[in-house]
A and B are shown apart, each in its own frame.
Chain A
Amino acid sequence: MKARDLMVPLADHLKPDNTIKEAVNLLRSAKRGEERVGVKGLPVLDAQGKLLGILSMGDILKAVYPFYMPMMNLGEFAWDGMVESLAKQAGDRLVETAMTKEVITVVESDSLMKCVDHMIKNKVQRLPVIDDSERVTGMVYERDVFFAIVRAMLQEGKGKEE
């Protein structure tokens, strides 16, 4: 099985000059297959469809997380309402300031194992699939990789017969 057999064709994407507020709205309502149930991350594309980055739920958490928090043990001192007020400020920031810029990508002909390899080594849950001109054609999700593994496991006996 290859990336092309597994990928979900690209339906929604973000633009770098979207605000984070617009971005979370799209994340919440984006298409997953046929239904609009929301996704955990979306690619950020320029006008030509080239990949600039990816904005995921983790990036949204980071957008409200002050840079000085991990420098020391400060979680103990946070007050009620801190995240809420930071979220209001973060909402107006642009997607390009919050997205993950170093994105691991695959091409359609890459093997399933290469996808698994990327996901494990780089701790990512989704891989944009790009074509020769660096345009994103689809996404490989961890969940779909999982189902591919499940199918392989359950069809093991059948495979031997063939």
Chain B
Amino acid sequence: MSAESSAVNQVVMGAPFWTATLLFVVAYALIVSEKIHKTVVAIFGASVMIVLGIVSQEEAFHSKELGIDWNVIFLLVSMMVIINIMKPTGAFEFIAVKSAKFAKGKPFRIMATLSVVTAVMSAFLDNVTTVLLIAPVTLLICQALELDVIPFLLTEALASNIGGTATLIGDPPNIMIASKAKLDFVSFLVNLAPVIVLILIVYILTIRLVFGKKLLVRDELRRRVMEMDERATLKDPVLLKKSLLVLAITITGFMFHGMLDLEPATVALFGAGLLLLLSGIKDPHHILAEAEWATLFFFMGLFIIIGGVVNVGLVKWMSMQVLNLTQGNLLGTSMVVMWFSAFASAFIDNIPYVATMNPLIIDMARQLWPDLSGLELLHHPDLMPMWWSLALGACLGGNGTAIGASANVIVVGLAEKAGKPISFGRFMLYGMPLMVESVIIATGYVLLRYYVLKI
């Protein structure tokens, strides 16, 4: 039984339905509880789905609708490889120190500059990677300025989640949405980047109100920062040039992938392959080993688990409930999707959340427009705001709590290592209002752009 062949408004709630639902709920609960590592839960849950025959191995490995989304996997792994090759060139230390000097060593200006740099980098790189590249330099700079590093780390994590929302490759939810909804890089840029720029500006103004006045530094300490030589870390200028070239080719490729009829994963894989070749690395073992395999396998397992509950009709049933609730009012649905996604993502991992929501939205579309299929269905003008609402809600929502996004978890971990733990409550005190602020802006944007101006 596949979701497509089942009767339009009928879900058969037999034994497979309840087995898959139980598996899904237990897996979700275990992931949220963090009692067992989420990757272990995902791999085991996926294997049980296949063993019980809820999805066949063929479907799990090869079906576009029910199986592993290789687009997501290859895009992620390729970007990880590119960054791993680039890391030793010192480019990231250069950018961070250069930013601090650009800010003339003045604390709030450093905070604002590093937040903007983090946001822009996060738009093109994984958020966790970006934070791990900017945070160590931030810790050093705060040591030099004898400042409390916590506000700096906090604002960077939040900025990285905001910036990541702007592009197709910025945040995993967007990668997943793009793949399922067949949306290209330019659509994401055109639809999301404008509101993200606005959100970022308001964000910087807000953190200025919150932290701006408290930050003062003696001139002799500022000199420590101004005397740092950012060029000193550029140890391998040849590899740096090659990396920048490949990065430029890859990003250009993303811009035109729709036109070239290439999937984003193809573009990224080409970039990774090219840089591996150009870098002249003799043994790629350690570069490949450093990819975050736990994350990648989490995705793979998750896709299979979601495939199972799609196959038995649970997701379809859920989508029917959403439609009943909003009575087919699409504006209402899109607002519910955005705000529900924001609060859901603040407390649970937005990756499993979006993995569940994608098929749910597609099912909803099927019920609304039963005669349409393919791109006509996925890109129905009335459905488009739903995708953007999902992306905005799920990505921005991560800022709500310390566990809302992986970048937050990393920053909390670093703060603890620095001997200045950030409590769950303290993170929320800053994160939640800033998250709500950003989602309010996003709501206004979606209403205005898609329902009033209709552009």
Contact = CB atoms under 8 A, between A and B. Distances in A.
Given A67-B417, A68-B414, A79-B224, A73 B233 contact: yes
Interface string B63-98: 000000000000000000000000010101100010
A73 B143 contact: no
B144 A79 contact: yes
B417 A77 contact: no
11 contacts: A66-B140, A66-B143, A66-B418, A68-B139, A68-B140, A72-B137, A73-B88, A74-B93, A74-B137, A76-B228, A79-B144
B229 interface: yes
Nearest to A73: B233
Nearest to A74: B140
Contacts, number: 52
Interface in B376-425: 414, 417-418
Interface residues of B, number: 24
Interface of B: 88, 90, 92-93, 97, 132-133, 135-137, 139-140, 143-144, 224, 227-229, 232-233, 235, 414, 417-418
Which of B133, B140, B235 has the most chain A CB atoms inside 10 A of its CB? B140
Interface in A18-72: 66-69, 71-72
A63 B417 CA distance: 13
Interface string A76-99: 111100100000000000000000
User: Max chain B CB contacts within 10 Å: which of A73, A74, A82?
Assistant: A73
A67 B224 CA distance: 20
Given A76-B229, A79-B224, A66 B139 contact: yes
A83 B135 CA distance: 20
Interface of A is mostly: loop
Contacts of A78: 140
A-B CB proximity, top 9 nearest: A76-B232, A71-B136, A68-B136, A68-B139, A79-B224, A77-B228, A72-B136, A73-B233, A67-B417
Nearest to B89: A73
Contacts of B92: 72
